[in-house]
Chains A and B, each alone.
Chain A
Amino acid sequence: MSTLDMSALVSIEHISQDFGQTKALDDVSLAIQPGSYTVLLGPSGSGKTTLLSILGGFLQPSAGRVLIGGADCTGMAPAKRPTATVFQDYALFPHMSVGSNVAFGLRMRGIAKAERLARALDMLRLVGLDQAFDNKPHQLSGGQRQRVALARALVVEPAVLLLDEPLGALDLKLRRQMQDELKAIQKRVGTAFVHVTHDQEEAMALADHIVVMNNGRIEDQGLPDRVYGRPATRFTATFMGESTILAGSVEGKGRIRTALGVFEVAGDIASPEIHVAIRPEHVQLGGDILAIVTHVVYQGSFKRVTAVPNGAPDIHLLARLPADSPVSVDMPVSLGIDPDRLIILAR
C-alpha cells in the first residue's frame, strides 16, 4: 500500500532487520506524510526503536529500503540524510553552552559564527529558552534540556525529526506538559515528527497517525480515535487502553452470541468465530447483565470497577463508572453494554 503512496515524505518499504536469530523487524512498510506527527507505539522489543534507528541511519536494515523525499537513503550516513534525532538521554554536549549546542549543526555546515548564533537564538526562543543561551546544560532541568535537544535538532531544518522516547526521563506531570509543548512546536515549524513511545496516552495526545507495533510488525495504524475505538487486532485492543475480551460466535446477520448474552450489531461480520472487546467506559450501570463487584478502585474522576457476571464466572468485566456510583465490593449490580460500541476482532 505505502509503496504506491506518491505523496508520502518518507516511504519505508519492506524493511526487515535481523539480529542474529531474532527478527527485530519483519517486512515493515510505512508511509509518513509531510507535516504529520507520527507516533510509533509498542511494548519494548516491538521493533519501534529499531525502526527509528533505521530511519535515522544509525542502523542498516537487513532488507528493504527507506526513501525520504523520493531519494533512497537506505545506505546513507546519519549526517547526510535529511533527518535529525532527539535522543532519549538528550545527548547534549556537556562542555558547550546551550547556544553552542544548538548552533553545532550549523557550525558543521560551515555557517558563519554570527549567523549560526542568531539562528540558534531564534530556535531557542521558539522553545522558550532564549534566556538560557549562555548556560551550560547541567544548569538546566530535565524538561529544559529536552527543549534544548529539540532546538538543536530543529535548527538544521530536517525534513523529518526523529524523537526516541523523548519524554521517557521526565516525571508524569512534566511529561504531560511537554506533550502539549511538543505538539505546539510541531504545528509551528511544520516539520514531520516521528516519535517513539510505549506510553499509549502520550501517543494518543500527540499523534496525527498512530502506528502500533508488536513483534517486529505493524499491528495497526491510523488516526488515534480510530485505532483506539476500532482497533484492527486483539493486540491493539489490549495495548491501547483496557478492555474485556470475550469469545463470540456469529449467528446470522449481525447477531453475536457471547458468554454475556446475544448482541445485535450493525453490519456484516466476515468470520463466524470472533472475539469481542469491551472498553470499560462503554459499560454502564443498569442493564440485563447481573454481576458481583470484586474490585473497586477510586481514581478521582471515576471508579474502576471489576465485576464477575453471574452467568460467566470466569470473566472479569472491567467498567469505568462515575465517581459517585454507589458500588462497593461484593455488591450485586446490573450492568449494560452498548452493542454499537462493541469492538469486533478476528479470532
Chain B
Amino acid sequence: MARIVSTLYAAAVYGFIFLPVIVLVLFSFQATLFPIPPFTGPSLRWYEAVLRDARLTDGLLNSMLVAVATSALATLLGFLSAWGFARFHMPASALMRGLITLPLTVSYLIIGMGLLILFNWIGIPKSLITAGIGHVVINLPLCFAIIYSQMGDHQANVERAARDLGAKEWQVLLLVTAPMLWPALFASFFLSMTFSWDEFVIAFLLTRFDTTLPVEIWNLLRAGLNPKTNAVGSLVFGVSIVLAIVFELVAFRKRPA
C-alpha cells in the first residue's frame, strides 16, 4: 500500500514538472490551427512556419549571438576576478568577494530596471549590446563563484613553479592557470549560456528593434495562442536541454586528481 502511494506521489511530482513541457512539445506537432486537444498531428507544419518567419529566425540568431558572447565575456571576467581574489592580498577582500556575488540574490527585474534607468540617463540606446551587458551582470557572479571555488593553494604552487621556470604572468595564466581550471571554465560558460539563452526580463527591458528569441515569443503570444508558439518554444527548450547536458557532462564528470 505504502509502495503504491509513494509511486503515485512520485508520478504526480514528475507529472507536475514535465506535463507542461510535454504538452508544449506535443502540440507543436499539431496539424490544425489551434494548440488544443484533440491532437491532430504529427505534422512539421508549424516548424516550417517558424523557419519562414524572419523575426523568429532573427531572434534565434540574436539569442545565439548574445548567449555565446556574454557567456564568454562573463567567464573571462569571472576567471580574472577569481584569480585576483585567490592570488593577491587586498584590503577588505571578503567584503569585495561578497559584493561581486551579490547580484546572484537580486531579481532580474531589479537588475534590468536599474540598467534601463542607467542607460537612459547616460544616453545609451537600447540594443542587443545593452541586453548583453545585462546578461554579463547576471552571469559574472555565477562564473566568479564557480571558478573561485576551484582555485586552491596547490594551484598557486603550480603557478609559482611556472614563474620559477621563466613564464611571464600572461603565460602563467594562459598556459597553466586556465588549462588547470578548464572544467570550471567550461562549466561557467555553459551554465551562463543556459541562463542567457532563455532570459526574458532583461532582454525585454533593454532591447528595442533587434531582440532575442524569448522577447519575440512574447510578441507572438500577444497575438494569441498558435501552434507556432509551441514549435518555437520547443526549439528553445531543445537548445536548453543540450546546454544543460553539456554542463552536467563537464561539471560532474569524474576527473583524475
Contacts and interface: CB of A to CB of B under 8 A. Distances in A.
Contacts of B171: 108
A95 B157 contact: no
A94 interface: yes
B167 A108 contact: yes
Given A94-B180, A138-B257, A85 B161 contact: yes
B158 interface: yes
Interface string A49-63: 000000011100000
Interface in B211-257: 256-257
A203 interface: no
A156 B165 contact: yes
Contacts of B180: 93-95
Contacts of A109: 166
B176 interface: yes
Given A84-B164, A156-B165, A89 B157 contact: yes
B157 A104 contact: no
A91 B161 contact: yes
A91 to B, nearest CB: 4
Given A91-B157, A91-B158, A95-B179, A78 B257 contact: no
Contacts of A56: 164
A138 B255 CA distance: 10
Contacts of A77: 163
Interface residues of B, number: 19
B174 to A, nearest CB: 12
Interface string A77-101: 1110001110101011111100000
Given A87-B157, A91-B158, A105 B256 contact: no
Interface in B27-77: none
A290 B160 CA distance: 59
Given A58-B160, A91-B161, A105 B176 contact: no
Nearest to A58: B160
Contacts of A104: 162, 165, 167
Contacts of A105: 165-166
A91 B160 contact: yes
Interface residues of A, number: 26
B26 to A, nearest CB: 45
B170 to A, nearest CB: 12
Contacts of A83: 164
A125 B157 CA distance: 26
B158 A78 contact: no
Interface string A243-271: 00000000000000000000000000000
B163 A78 contact: yes
A198 interface: no
A97 to B, nearest CB: 12
A300 B171 CA distance: 54
B164 to A, nearest CB: 4
Interface in B105-132: none
A179 B155 CA distance: 27
A93 B163 contact: no
25 contacts: A57-B164, A78-B160, A79-B163, A79-B167, A84-B165, A85-B160, A85-B161, A87-B160, A87-B161, A91-B158, A91-B161, A93-B158, A93-B180, A94-B158, A95-B179, A95-B180, A104-B167, A105-B165, A105-B166, A108-B166, A108-B171, A152-B161, A153-B164, A153-B165, A156-B165
Given A87-B157, A109-B166, 18 more contacts: A57-B164, A58-B164, A78-B164, A79-B165, A84-B164, A85-B161, A91-B160, A93-B180, A94-B158, A104-B162, A105-B165, A138-B257, A152-B161, A152-B165, A153-B164, A153-B165, A156-B165, A156-B166
